[in-house]
Structure 1
Amino acid sequence: MLIQVSAARLSYVQAQVDPRRSGLILCGTDAVKKAGSLRRREGYAGALLIDPAVYEHNAATEENPFPYDVEPTLFLDDPLELSLAEQRNAGATLPMTPTGYIRAEDSDALRAAVTRVMKLNDPAVIFAAPVDVSWLRDEESTRQLIAYLQMIKGPKAIMLGGQMDPLARYAKAVGHLKQLVAEVPAAALLRTDLAAFGALAFGANFTAFGASSTYRHIIAPGEKAQTNKSVPVQSPHVLFPDLMAFFLGETIAKRYGGAEAPVCFCSACDGNRSLDSFTSNRGGLPAAAASHNVAVLMEWLRTLTSVKPGPERQQWWFDRCRKALDQYEVINTSIRQPKAFKSPAQLDRWASTAPEASKTPAQTAAAEHSR
């Protein structure tokens, strides 16, 4: 599980990234330059990808599935090949296609992108598939997406687009994501959050957890990111380990008030910080919060990867999500505020369906009937 981060904020998290189990995906305008510096000047030897992220500003079309804006050179004039060469020269472990945003039901754009990558005949190229989460809305569109991705031999990096938490939009989205990961060889899930662990548990080749909320989903080109306007963002997002969710540092401090907040013993905090200490965006608090978040994620990753892949790992993830849901009532009761912390919809959905191996015959029959 890699950490997806902007070049500008790399220093916040790099020290916490586990070199054996993790790595980096750099985003932003300086990503290529920073990647080159990491490789050549700093001697970084870990997994390193560069996300061109053209999907942030341009949609894929049938005529132009890779809308990468770059000046042609004496040797190359194709935007796709230019982008791939640029990433290779910067030291990327594998280059990633500069795919535009694939809107809901735009099978023409998806087919054009897949066809172009197939012509490269290069299994060392990662096909970026930044798709609207509506592709996972129902069985028909999910099957279509799977069929196209199965045509590509190399790794496929799926990224989901949608406001707030894309996987919370449709009741079956999490289940269809599991199906996609299981049926598409070398599938990966990037630019995401809790789903990074869920996808790993269900067999993803690799995943990437966004170091900030910006890199935990995609906003379709032309749309403005929706936020909770009732809660001004005046403090960093902090991962509450027991609840498996992010909350603003200021929100955690207000909820606990005079009560004693949990002390964090992750490798970044080392028992010197409580979860209510990240109360503003001033000074070193944003960096400290980002470092804490990644340190906690690395602890989860080490635990997950110590479990045997397959049903056992899937069961671990399900149990972990169920345990987190149970903690909401425990913690809210301890601070005498029944609705202080509310579980995110995605966590509810990961915890709502047990892995097939642990279901009773009656549960399996009910699931089949609902389909």
Structure 2
Amino acid sequence: MLLAEPALYEQGVATADEPYLQRAGELPADDPLDRAVQEQLAVGATAALTPTGYLRAGDTAALRAVVRETTARKDARIVLALPLDVGWLRSDLIGRLVEEVGAAPGTKAVMLGGQSDPLAGFPEALTGLARLLTQVPGTALLRADLAAFGALARGAAFAAYGESSRFRHVVPPGESATASGFGDSPTVLFPELMALCLGTTLARRFAAAPAPVCECAACGRRELDSFASRSDLQPAAQHNTAVLMSWLRRLQTVPVGPDRQRWWQERCRSAVNRYPLVNAAIRQPNGFKVQPQLLRWSLLDPAPSAPAGVGAD
């Protein structure tokens, strides 16, 4: 499936009266959804994402309008885009979200909104996402980080890992993105720790200790602390992609269901357990800190299998 995302949810909020948005400066359209679908298909997309506005947590009327308008089209080429404020995943709202989104046929593409890592914002967030993916078939996760793999382990239709921090979450309209401090240093995936680190950070941490050597398809054999300048941006991106693709190939060998969820949980646990060992090796007790989302994936148990005959087509 090839998608061309309009990302209009970055411009404004969905309302019950206007669930879909148009680009700033465009002439008003009688049917914003039809215009967006035609534009995306015209540039070669095989399916079209709805031009949904940002969905504030708890705004059931807006969510219901988005689902209703998309469902009425009865067009299998339309993917319902759901740019959800992460607050929808709270325990007091997730049931309502599952009920409303579950009423929509076809594919649903969720993007989570919030600053930095939305899934690290509160402990319930990851549990709510897992429930949504498990209970609403045909749900995908876009603009994600580690959650892309966790989503695939939980049965997501598809998922997308953002190339940069800007594409790993949605910044709520009207808010400025929290500064990442990345500067000119590339972001490098540290496979053993399942962590994205600045190249300069890796260089500092391993200044007095041997750095891990990466043997991915892109690196061949390269020390992880060697991606420290702007000239390393492309090699770092190639390294990240090669490592992520190796994870994906391995995940796809595991049967969908509890086995795949367990595989992902164990992989996250293994990474969490590596942190104290790496910190001891570099003699920096707090050199690398486990990110909250990784820790929560390591603790999230697989969903129980459905009884025989339940949920089968």
Same-fold call, TM cutoff 0.5: yes
Number of residue-to-residue matches in the alignment: 304
Query: Are 1:108 and 2:61 counterparts?
Result: yes
Please name the residue that 2:111 is paired with. 159
Match of 2:89 among 110, 116, 136: 136
Q: Which runs of 4+ in 1 moved over 3 A?
A: 70-73
Query: Are 1:263 and 2:213 counterparts?
Result: yes
Contact 1:233/1:248 (CA < 8 Å) preserved in 2? no
- Give the 3-state SS of the residue equivalent to 1:119 in structure 2: helix
Contact 1:191/1:208 (CA < 8 Å) preserved in 2? yes
Please name the residue that 2:272 is paired with. 325
Identity across the alignment (%)? 49
CA distance in 1 between counterparts of 2:242 and 2:190 reads 12
Aligned-residue CA RMSD (Å): 1.7
Query: Are 1:190 and 2:139 counterparts?
Result: no
Match of 1:227 among 170, 179, 185: 179
Please name the residue that 2:192 is paired with. 242
- Give the 3-state SS of the residue equivalent to 1:224 in structure 2: coil
Match of 1:253 among 187, 203, 209: 203
CA distance in 2 between counterparts of 1:195 and 1:232 reads 21
Please name the residue that 1:202 is paired with. 154
Shift of 1:124: 2.3
- Give the 3-state SS of the residue equivalent to 1:324 in structure 2: helix
Per-residue CA distance 1:58-87 (angstroms, 9 max, x = gap): 1111221111227469xx742211111111
Match of 1:145 among 86, 94, 97: 97
Please name the residue that 1:276 is paired with. 225
Shift of 1:117: 0.6
The within-5 A match list for 1:170-185 is 170-185=122-137
Contact 1:49/1:93 (CA < 8 Å) preserved in 2? yes
Per-residue CA distance 1:111-139 (angstroms, 9 max, x = gap): 1111111111112210000000000011x
Contact 1:162/1:217 (CA < 8 Å) preserved in 2? yes
| Higher RCO (CA-CA < 8 Å; seq separation 6+) | 1
TM-score, normalised with respect to structure 1: 0.79
Shift of 1:258: 2.9
List gaps (5 residues or longer) in structure 2: 306-313
Contact 1:72/1:79 (CA < 8 Å) preserved in 2? no
CA distance in 1 between counterparts of 2:39 and 2:303 reads 44
Contact 2:182/2:198 (CA < 8 Å) preserved in 1? no
Per-residue CA distance 1:297-342 (angstroms, 9 max, x = gap): 1000000000111111111001000000011011111111111000
